Structure 1
Amino acid sequence: DAHELISQYTILVDDQKSQKFLMVLRPYQIHAIRKIKRQAALHEGGFIWHATGSGKTITSFVATKLLAQNAIGVDRTIMVVDRTDLDAQTQDEFTKFASEYHTGQTSRTSISNTLIVGIQNK
């Protein structure tokens, strides 16, 4: 359990101030990700519904990262948000978290990151 906590549910966060720190997900976030992985293995959809400020974006990021690394046939995850500010927040947060996933360094742009593809406002 400790190995799983460190290897799957701890991420390196690289913020805009050039500070890096490790973040361990909260138990309810880990539960949500495990549920998402089970649903994906069954080829069924789902959604994350948590309160404001509870870490939905980081939960979505870690779930996306783990699904991309898994060999269960998930090629893409799609996030739908209902406001432009949430779209910008999601893009910024994914960029901040995703640098560690792909390269170990941040470029602070989603375009250079393979985990973030096809961002569109409509």
Structure 2
Amino acid sequence: MRALVIDDSRTMRRIVAGQLSNLGFETVEAADGRAALDLLEAGTEVELACIDWNMPVMNGLEFVGAVRENPAWRDVTLMMVTTESEQGQIVRALAAGAHEYLIKPFTPDAFREKLQLLGLVEYEEIA
């Protein structure tokens, strides 16, 4: 599976991509929503997009709206990965079409749990 990591922080892109790689994903990165849309429009296929909220050019909420407007990308799972922790922000993102919401900073276990909820990562049996 392939995931698109969208964040204006190179360090955060590296952290999120590393978590995804550990869970078996191939990753593609974009520094803002517009760059991410450009990748999708160029034919890059992804099953998951991990999206920061606060970015220049096009923010995460705008990206979610743009993806949801295009029927070709209906199957892309959208997960916000952001420092925005107000309940109102979470509600706005989910109402716009995000499937899940993970607040930074996060633990590897929290990241895995969100992907398990989305059905993108298998549950592991605890011995």
Q: Shared fold by TM > 0.5?
A: no
TM-score range, shorter chain: 0.3 to 0.5
Give the strand-richer structure, 1 or 2.
Answer: 2
TM-score by length of 1: 0.37
